[in-house]
Amino acid sequence: MKIAAISVIALCFTVSLFAVSLFAASLSAAQDYLSPSDLLLSRDGKTLHILASTGKQLIDFDLKEQQVVRALDLPGEPTDMVMSGDGKTLYVAGGGHQGRVWIANSGSLVGEIKTGHTPMSPIVSPDGKRLYVCNRFDDDVSMIDLESGETMARIAVLREPIVASITPDGKLLFVANHIPDGRADIEYVASKVSVINTETQEVKTLPLVNGAEGIRGMEISPDGKKVFATHLMARFHVPTTQLERGWVSTNALSVIDVASQTLEYTVLLDDIDQGFANPWAIGFSEDGKTLVVSSAGNQELSLIDLPALTSKIRSQSSLPEGEAHLHAHNDLSFLSGMRKRVKLKGVGPRSLLVNGDVIYVGNYFSDAVEVVRFTSDWQTESELLQLGKEQEVTPERLGEMFFNDSALCFQNWLSCATCHPDARTDALNWDLMNDGIGNPKNVKSMLYAHITPPAMWLGVRADAESAVRAGIQHIQFAVRPEEDAQAIDAYLKSLTPIPSPHLVEGKLSDSARRGEQIFEQVGCAHCHPAPLFTSSRMCDVGYTTGQDEGQPVDVPHLIEAWRTAPYLHDGRAATMKDVVTTFEHGNGHGKLSILTEDQLDDLVEYLLSL
């Protein structure tokens, strides 16, 4: 079973993001940041094993000497790791589209196991015989026999399985699907949790409350009775006219009952006048009395009285059926009197590990482990343990920090990454104020936004530069220095596409090659010409309604289209197949209607391979 994880990142400087000098905006040289993504404690408690994501290393940190004693280079970028039952072997997931689990023993790589696209959250079964791995962009979970190294099964789940946790008896694997699946122009849109019966491989889908999305952390309580998951709470039904009291977005912790496999409660992690933006990692004290949750957007920890939380949730069971959840995810005072917020010195706490009276925090953007010591009455003190060499921060790195930082937002309710996780889409429709009220639009990916103007679906921003600045002012309700926006521009311009999971060994499949020819023959290339597959023009495709009726919409590029569902300006098309069949997009001259079912499948396969 996965030991409490922790990501650890030591930045070249040991100060908070808010003190970073903006001289960085003038730098252009690439830097070798570590960006740790996970951390485990050795069995003897003397060594912290650290994954450095962009550094592509497995680092051993001696806690007594407070220094790095070994750094093992990895073949690719890692995501997460897990320790074998005997504590001797580490299984490290990574490699992106060339997914692998690397096997490390005594500081050396001794083998590897092929997995799916972007493997994450490896889990060893309690009996030590199986390894489960979430294949994020293949939308499935690998079940691997550790004795033979062979994949026993690939179990399909929903969308972007990103983190998992297994029950102590090994019978149930809870898998969090990062963002919602399906169309966005409907009443209920939310991420879901898949519950896998590891013996039968049957999958049960567990919906979270409406608006839940962006799941990042998931852990089973020490007693094995509850599953806790961190996520966002999008208020996508309302216009974005204000931020007070979490009007647009709140941040939550959902509690799932293991025995009944049902959602028990959803608790808001915010306060009335301050958000707990982008909740991420989860940990528990050894005595089971303290639940620890990190805010990766607000550089904080929450120390929560777990027995008090459990008791209060239980008391809500007396509410009339259907009212408990309504009360829960609208109550910004739910944690009052049972939680302490702890401000961190580092930036980007995306993982944590609780050991005794110490919380080790991995600050993604600080290249340092933050050691937070706490007493029984929650008095705290912390220090940063440096991992890497001191180096300057580039504009791109600074922009990535700002993009994920809720300090740019009024009362810290959200960051840019709240609606654009990993600078892509949250799969929701939002009613922004730039084109009126009552006409929500689907969130676009930020990939290539700066080279495919105009911005926004109705083209109300001339370019992405204008949109970035308008977003800070009118979505985050803040006034920031121009340098902040320039850094965000630099970060977004640095984004590169991820190879599609539909490719075969990096190339188009036979079906996609046929689809490429059909794409040209039926005229799709007229509006979506290569290489970016957009004309960068506005076009009336007949889908706008209400106050938008008859207005043209921006022609989006199709790079990474496999990742940006749902489709069309209002997210009405759940799949690419729906785009060309149900909604007959691109059938202006009747050419799509003459295609056979197989030809349509080939066309879709090509579009999803870009």
244-263 confidence digits (pLDDT tens): 999 999 999 999 999 999 99
Confidence class for position 489, pLDDT limits 50, 70, 90:
very high
pLDDT at 20 over 80: no
Considering only 30-34, 170-174, 536-540, 545-549, which range has the smallest mean pLDDT?
A: 30-34
Are the C-beta atoms of residues 265 and 254 closer than 8 Å to each other?
A: yes
Instruction: Write the pLDDT tens digit of every residue in 56-94.
Output: 999 999 999 999 999 999 999 999 999 999 999 999 999
Q: Give the Å distances, CA to CA, from 274 to 229, 249, 278, 325.
A: 21, 12, 13, 22
Please tell me the predicted confidence (pLDDT) of residue 13: 28
Residue 385 predicted with pLDDT over 80: yes
Q: What angle do CA 30, 33, 37 make, to 5 degrees?
A: 140
Is residue 474 predicted with pLDDT exceeding 70? yes
Residue that wins the pLDDT comparison between 201 and 314: 201
What is the CATH code for 398-493? 1.10.760.10
Higher pLDDT among residues 28 and 502, named by residue: 502
> Which CATH code of 3.40.50.12160, 3.40.50.150, 2.130.10.10, 2.40.30.10 fits the domain covering 9-22+34-237+246-393?
2.130.10.10
**CATH homologous superfamily of 510-607:** Cytochrome c-like domain (1.10.760.10)
Is the pLDDT score of 323 beyond 90? no
Sign of CA dihedral 124, 130, 132, 133: positive
pLDDT at residue number 8: 30
pTM above 0.85, yes or no: yes
Give the Cα separation of 149 and 165 in Å (integer): 21
DSSP annotation of 170? S
Q: What is the DSSP letter of 413?
A: -
Tell me whether the CATH fold assigned to 9-22+34-237+246-393 matches the one assigned to 510-607: no
Report how far residue 579's alpha carbon sits from residue 559's, in angstroms, rounded to the nearest whole number: 16
Dihedral angle, C-alpha 572, 575, 578, 579, nearest 10 °: 70
Residue 105 has pLDDT above 60, yes or no: yes
Q: How far apart are CA 383 and CA 390, in angstroms?
A: 17
- Is 453's pLDDT higher than 90? yes
Say whether 563 sits in a helix, a strand or coil.
Answer: helix
* Segments making up each domain of the chain, as ranges: 9-22+34-237+246-393, 398-493, 510-607
The radius of gyration of the chain's CA atoms, rounded to the nearest angstrom, is 24
The mean pLDDT of 301-314, rounded to a whole number, is 95
Q: Which band of pLDDT confidence, cut at 50, 70 and 90, is reported for residue 317?
A: low
Range name among 23-27, 124-128, 372-376, 547-551 with the lowest pLDDT average = 23-27
Model confidence at 169, pLDDT cuts 50, 70, 90, reads very high
> What is the Cα–Cα distance from 587 to 551, expressed in whole angstroms?
19
Tell me the percentage of the chain whose pLDDT exceeds 90: 88
> What's the pLDDT at 335?
96
Does the CA dihedral 325-282-99-134 come out positive or negative? negative
- How do residues 401-416 score in pLDDT, each as one tens digit? 999 999 999 999 999 9
**Is 110 a residue whose pLDDT tops 90?**
yes
Query: Where residue 319 falls among pLDDT bands split at 50, 70, 90?
Result: low
Instruction: With cut-offs at 50, 70 and 90, classify the pLDDT of residue 503.
Output: very high
DSSP per-residue string spanning 81-117: EEE-TTSSEEEEEE-TTS-EEEEEETTEEEEEEE--S
| pLDDT score for 316 | 79
